[in-house]
Every structure is written in structure tokens, then in C-alpha cells.
Structure 1
């Protein structure tokens, strides 16, 4: 286990887990201490089959929300979100990788280290080659 794995980082969500999204009600409602608008720089947003992918790269900004889980809900929530995103550490079949990245709070511009589910390398390569970037970086405004 790395130092980052041992930390209880907040989550940066940018698609169906955002407040008002269908997976927010299923997974996050009642399990968070705070939810606030934020952005991830150095990534572009691409549409997927009903949900988006953040693809890391030198350009772009993804709009979303920084979600801080209740401490007592953290471990169960982390496991549930990994299952939702079909993420397993080191699995080459992953659609997403969970990575620690700095995101910026909209209020005050404060950077915060958070977990972000980004497109796994094979998915990211396909999207860069054939995908269409959501120019606004905002899944809700697409």
C-alpha cells in the first residue's frame, strides 16, 4: 500500500456521480460531508456510452464536483465506486484507472488532492484517435 492509498482523499466526480446525476443518488446521497464545484486541469472530457471519460493530456479542463465522504462511509464508498467504475488495481481490462490528482475548488481556487477516475490507457488511446472532445469540459452542459 502506498502513502496515497492510505490517505482518505476526497473524490472528483464529473459525470453521473455529480449532484443531480443518477449515480449520485445511488452512491453518494447521505454519505458525504461536502460537495463543491471544482475542476481538473490537464484533461479533456469525452462522451462514452451514457457516461463520460476524462482523458489526461496537456490541454483542457474538466468541470465537476469535489466530494468529501463522511469518514464512517469512506471505505465502503471507495469499494462501491471502484465497482461502479469497474476498476481493479492493475487489471488490464479496466475502463478507468483511479489516480490521485490535484483539482481546483471553484470557490477560492484552492488546489486539493483527490481521487479521479480517468480513462485507462487503452480507452484513452481510442478516444484520442476517434473520439470527439466535449469542448466545455462539462458533462451537464454538453
Structure 2
């Protein structure tokens, strides 16, 4: 079972959880208080098998949305998103890691702390060596 942090951070989504993508309706519709365009500096977006990976790298930028969950569904949503992203704390088989990062909101340039699912270290190493970067950093515009 995933432990819920006392701090209910928003989520920065950049792939299939973005509005208009298939997992947005499955996981986020009706569970969010707000969704605002934003960007994550210090990461490069890579093609995955039907979904992207953000790989931390000082030279890049990833575009997406900052999603603030409704407080009453936060714990349930956190567990569901961890499962979707195949993230389990401490499990070397995880595809992603959920990390807390600064994200910049496009509208007013404010910086917010958010959960971001980035490629797990072994996945990131493979992508850096032989992956296909998405030059725009925008999964929706690929």
C-alpha cells in the first residue's frame, strides 16, 4: 500500500494524463479542482511505448499541466496514479519515480511544488543511451 504524504501536492502531468489524452478521462475527470498549463525545467521528454518519459537533464524543458486534485479524493488518486505509472517506492522494477519538483505555471510564471513522475534510474539510463527525445518537450505536439 502506498503511504499518503501529509502534504497534498498537485501533480505535473505531461503525457497520457493531459486533457484530451486517454488517461485524463479515466483518472482525472471529476477529481480535480484545477488544471493549469505549466512546464518543468531541467528534464527532457522521451518517446515511450505509447506514453512518454521525462528524464531529468539540466538542458531540457517538459510541457504539461499542473493538476490540483480535490482534497476528498487525493489519497485515492495518489494510489491510482502510482499504480498507473508502475511506481512502488524502493522497487527496482518501477518504471517511474514520483519526485517533488518545482514547476512553472505558464499563466503567471509562478513556481509551485508538484509531484512529477520521472523515468526511474535504469529506464533513464536506457533512454539517454538509445531513446528518442521529443524535441519540443510537448507530448501533445509530437
* Coarse TM-score class (shorter-chain normalised): over 0.9
| Deviations 1:39-58, CA, capped at 9 Å, x for gaps | 00000000000000000011
Query: What CA distance in whole angstroms lies between the structure 2 residues aligned with 1:32 and 1:14?
Result: 16
SS in 1 for 2:140: coil
| Matches of 2:43 and 2:66, distance apart in 1 | 16
Show the counterpart of 2:28.
28
Q: Distance in 1 between matches of 2:9 and 2:38?
A: 15
Could you say what the CA RMSD is over the residues aligned between the two structures, in angstroms? Answer: 1.0
1:94 aligned onto 2:97: no
Structure-1 separation of matches of 2:5 and 2:74: 13
Structure 1: how far apart are the matches of 2:120 and 2:44?
Answer: 13
**How far off its partner does 1:5 sit?**
3.2
**Unaligned stretches of 5+ residues in structure 1:** none
**Aligned: 1:134 with 2:134:** yes
Q: Distance in 1 between the 2:19 and 2:72 partners?
A: 20
Deviation at 1:117, TM superposition (A): 0.2
- Is the partner of 1:97 in helix, strand or coil? strand
Partner SS for 2:80: helix
Name the CA distance, whole Å, in 2 between partners of 1:20 and 1:140.
Answer: 9
**Number of residue pairs matched by the alignment:** 139
1:1-142 to 2 correspondence within 5 Å? Answer: 5-142=5-142
CA-to-partner distance for each residue in 1:79-118, whole Å, 9 max, x for gaps?
0000000100010000000000000000111000000000
Q: How far did 1:132 drift?
A: 1.7
